[in-house]
A and B are shown apart, each in its own frame.
Chain A
Amino acid sequence: MISSQSPILIPMTFLFAAMLIPLVGAVNRAAAHLAAVLGSALALYFSVIGMQTTLAQGRISYHIAGWMPPIGIEFVLDPLSAFVCTLLCGVTFIVMVFGKRSVEYEIPQKEIAFYSLSMLLLGGLAGMVMTGDLFNLYVYLEIAALAGYALVAIGDKRAVVSAFRYLVMGTVGATFYLLGVALIFISTGTLNMADIAQLMPLVHDSPAVIVGLVLIVLGTALKMALFPMHAWLPDAYTHASTTATALIAPIGTKVSAYVLFRVLFFVVDPDHLRTEMLNLLQIIGYLGAAGIIWGSIMAICQSELKRMLAYSSVAQVGYIAVGIALASPLGFIGAILHALNHAVMKCCLFLVSGNMRLRLGHSSIPLMTNGLRKSMPWTSAAFTLAAISMIGLPPTAGFFGKWYLALGAIEQSHWIFLTALLISTILNVAYFFRVMERMYLKPQDPGGVDYSEQTIARSEAPASMLIPTLFLAISLLVLGFANAWIVTNLIVPMIPGWL
């Protein structure tokens, strides 16, 4: 019963929770957090059930209001969308558990709005993942985007300005997408993705379809912060509250990347993709490679931990773009695996910065000293593990995503992509070791206050924040060791047959 309904149940759980939280919160403030945790736990449960069913029995399709596709709107749970959806729900559940103390500290009095908006954001993102209809995707994209603007705006003093910039860029992206959908609709007369995929071979020569696809790719690239359209991202992530960043950073850009996957590999005609569309793929790949280098270099220049991580996100989106551009099974596996790993690593790193903000009141890198190691040993350990994974040292998870991408690049002799991957690894070392060096080795200022062993109190973050952080850090090792299982059982079934 649940399994056949799961495509619709997941977004609806989030949307229902978003409506319920203000009501519950009006009665009891503390219950708002509980409702958010329960809502995301329920959605996680549904998505795990959905994923099990999909892997066992294949695609689940849910027709809204009983209208058959292509007339009606279809919600689809196939291996790809089930995987992305489980990832979304898992990250959300962990961040919601983490959120209680961090939200109370960073944005007091705004908890109810925060939880309600984050559920709305997730409802939008889950809908984007699930829907099989291009226009429906636009609607969910805007739900997620509007909730995202509001979440980003609840932050420090500058958050409003960065939220405004995010809104302007996001709206341009969504408009390009809508315009692209219009051109495709005019040419094919349908909005259902599976139906368009069938009609595509008949119309792929039409300039309208080509322009439409380019506009869709452009709009999605803006949303996923592909270089050079990433300018909104660092500001938005830096000034938002840490919990909001930890929620948006790992999954927001990934879902846009998922849309790119969906459109390029499941809607566009495969023969067409290999021949005329190849230039578009190449451009996505080169922009991704440029983003990898540029994001990493900018990350080295930052003095604020959250901002550094935000630039690093720009670089990581580049890896996914490179994987898409390779258009081969290895590239596909690499991009999806990297999306999973990066979501876990980046979430963990942002949670660490939240722990630091709670205990130190800042997350500025030049102010860090080895006092941090003594006062917050577990948080520092989680940071180190996640940083090692970001750099990509085996056996942590980060290594394997890059490994598949590198193999894919070698297979097709894309030496530029390979060079970008290798250079970025070195740049990653540079910016993460800079933080780790301060965290573990830099002695405290001798001229200042005496911070000898006795005066440094152990002030580790509270358990509700520390456990999610450590859980993510440990799961990086687990994902690293289990990567062969993940690739064979979860990722290989989602590769389209023609690839």
Chain B
Amino acid sequence: MLEFIQGYYAYIFLATAFTIGLYGMMVKQNLMKKVLGMSIVAATTIMFWIVGAYKEGAGVTVLDPRYGVENPEMYLNPLPHTLMLTAIVVAVVTLGVALALLIGIYREYKTLDEPTLLERMK
């Protein structure tokens, strides 16, 4: 059990946070809390990529003549980080659209609580 956890702390933390986010999206009655859960899920996914790209002691991203090709452990794949910049933008835009929709819902029904909302939609 201990070997299973050791060295994977970050992944276990991310899996927990992902589950919490999913739980919030599915179970919480308040629409704002659903958006919060959505945000947690998106952030965890981005963190997952970043953690996956982490390498102890590496810091060089492109071929550097000072280090040459003899030391591959010095090099780090920069691709996940750059990809995640795009993913962050997507997450922010999704959040923006979600908040805009919440404003629309609140203006129409004066509530963000799901049971009350369902009551008022009838």
| Residues of chain A at the chain B interface (Cβ within 8 Å) | 135, 138-139, 142, 146, 149-150, 153, 157-158, 160-161, 163-164, 167-168, 171-172, 175, 178-179, 182, 185-186, 189, 191
By a CB distance below 8 angstroms, the chain A residues around B42 are 171, 175
Query: Which residues on the B side are within 8 Å of A189 (C-beta)?
Result: 77
A167 touches B101 (CB 8 A): yes
A171 in complex: contacting residue of B41, B77, B108, B117, CB < 8 Å: B41
Which of B31, B83, B104, B105 lies at the interface centre, i.e. has the most chain A CB atoms within 10 A of its CB?
Answer: B83
Across the two chains, which residue of chain B brings its CB closest to A176?
B45
CB within 8 Å of A: which B57-116 residues: 77, 79-80, 83, 86-87, 90, 93-94, 97-98, 101-102, 104-105, 108-109
Beta-carbon nearest neighbor of B38 in chain A: A171
Distance, CA A163 to CA B25, complexed state (A): 15
Docked-complex contact A160 and B41, CB < 8 angstroms = no
Q: Which residues of chain B are within 8 angstroms of A163 by Cβ–Cβ distance? A: 101
Please measure, in the bound complex, the distance between the C-alpha atom of A65 and the C-alpha atom of B121, giving whole angstroms. 50
- Given A171-B41, A171-B42, A185-B80, A164 and B98 contact (CB-CB distance below 8 Å): yes
Q: B121 to chain A: which residues have CB within 8 Å?
A: 158, 161
- Interface pair B104/A160, CB less than 8 Å apart: yes
**Min CB–CB distance B56 → chain A (angstroms):** 16
**Inter-subunit contact B34/A172 (CB<8 Å):** no
Query: Bound state CA distance, A222 and B101, in angstroms?
Result: 21
Select from chain B the residue with minimum beta-carbon distance to A164: B101
- Residues of A close to B86: CB separation below 8 A: 135, 139
Known: A139-B90, A142-B90, A161-B121. Contact between A167 and B97, CB under 8 A? yes
- Docked-complex contact B87 and A178, CB < 8 angstroms: yes
Contact of A172 with B45 at beta-carbon distance under 8 Å, contacts A167-B98, A178-B87 already known: no
Taking a contact as CB atoms under 8 Å apart, the answer to whether B105 and A175 are in contact is no
A185 to B94 Cα, complex, angstroms? 24
- The 8 A CB mask of B41-53 against A (1 = contact, 0 = none) is 1100100110010
A153 touches B41 (CB 8 A): no
Inter-subunit contact A164/B31 (CB<8 Å): yes
Would you list the 9 A-B pairs with minimal beta carbon distance, nearest first? A160-B104, A164-B101, A142-B90, A186-B52, A182-B49, A160-B105, A175-B45, A178-B45, A179-B45
A182 to B77, CA, bound (A): 13
Within the complex, what minimum Cβ distance (angstroms) separates B2 from chain A? Answer: 19
Q: Which residue of B lies closest to A143 (CB)?
A: B90
Interchain nearest-CB distance for A209 vs B (Å): 13
The answer to whether residues A168 and B93 also contact, given A139-B86, A153-B104, A178-B87 and a CB cut-off of 8 A, is: no
Q: Which residues of A contact B49 (CB under 8 A)?
A: 178, 182, 185
Residues of B within 8 A of A153 (CB): 101, 104
- Chain B: CB-nearest residue to A139: B86
Main secondary structure of the interface of A (DSSP, over half): helix
- Within 8 Å CB of B101, what residues of A? 149, 153, 160, 163-164, 167
Min CB gap B78→A, angstroms:
12
Shortest CB distance B37–A (Å): 9
Could you tell me the distance in whole angstroms from the C-beta of B7 to the nearest C-beta in chain A?
15
**Which residues of chain A are near B34, meaning CB under 8 Å?**
168
How far, in whole Å, are A384 and B91 apart by their CA atoms in the complex?
44
In the complex, chain A residues whose CB is within 8 Å of the CB of B79: 191
Q: A142-B93, A171-B42, A186-B52 are in contact. List 12 more A-B contacts (CB 8 A).
A: A135-B86, A139-B90, A146-B97, A150-B97, A160-B101, A164-B31, A168-B34, A168-B38, A172-B38, A172-B41, A178-B49, A185-B52
Show 5 residue pairs from A and B whose CB-CB distance is below 8 angstroms, ordered by the A residue: A139-B86, A150-B97, A157-B108, A168-B38, A175-B41
**A138 to B98 alpha-carbon distance, docked (Å):** 19
Known: A135-B83, A161-B105. A172 touches B22 (CB 8 A): yes
In the complex, chain A residues whose CB is within 8 Å of the CB of B98: 164, 167-168, 171
A164 to B108, CA, bound (A): 13
| Given A135-B83, A149-B97, A168-B25, residue A160 in contact with residue B108 (CB < 8 A) | yes
Q: Is the CB of A164 within 8 A of B102?
A: yes
- Given known A153-B101, A164-B101, A175-B42, contact A142–B31 (CB-CB < 8 A): no
- Kindly provide the distance from the CB of A262 to the nearest chain B CB, expressed in whole angstroms: 19
B99 → chain A closest CB, angstroms: 10
Inter-chain contacts of A191 with B (CB < 8 A): 79
Closest to B21 in A: A175
Q: Which residues of B contact A161 (CB under 8 A)?
A: 105, 109, 117, 121
Q: Which residues of B contact A158 (CB under 8 A)?
A: 121
A182 near B48: Cβ-Cβ < 8 Å: yes
Q: Give the docked Cα–Cα distance between A186 and B54 (Å).
A: 11
Residues of chain B within 8 A (CB-CB) of A160 are 101, 104-105, 108
- Least CB distance from B55 to A in Å reads 12
* B23–chain A nearest beta-carbon distance, Å: 12
User: Quick one: closest B residue to A178, CB to CB?
Assistant: B45
Once bound together, how far apart are the Cα atoms of A135 and B48, in whole Å?
Answer: 15
Minimal beta-carbon separation of A141 from chain B (angstroms): 9
For B94, the chain A residues whose CB sits under 8 A away are 142, 146, 167, 171
Interface centre among B97, B109, B121 (most CB of A within 10 A): B97
- B18 CB to closest chain A CB (Å) equals 8
Residues of A contacting B31 in the complex (Cβ-Cβ under 8 angstroms): 164
CA distance A162 to B42 in the complex (A): 21
Q: Which residues of chain B are near A135, meaning CB under 8 Å?
A: 83, 86
**Cα A149 to Cα B90 with chains together (Å):** 14
In the assembled complex, which residues on chain B have CB atoms less than 8 Å from the CB atom of A172? 22, 25, 38, 41
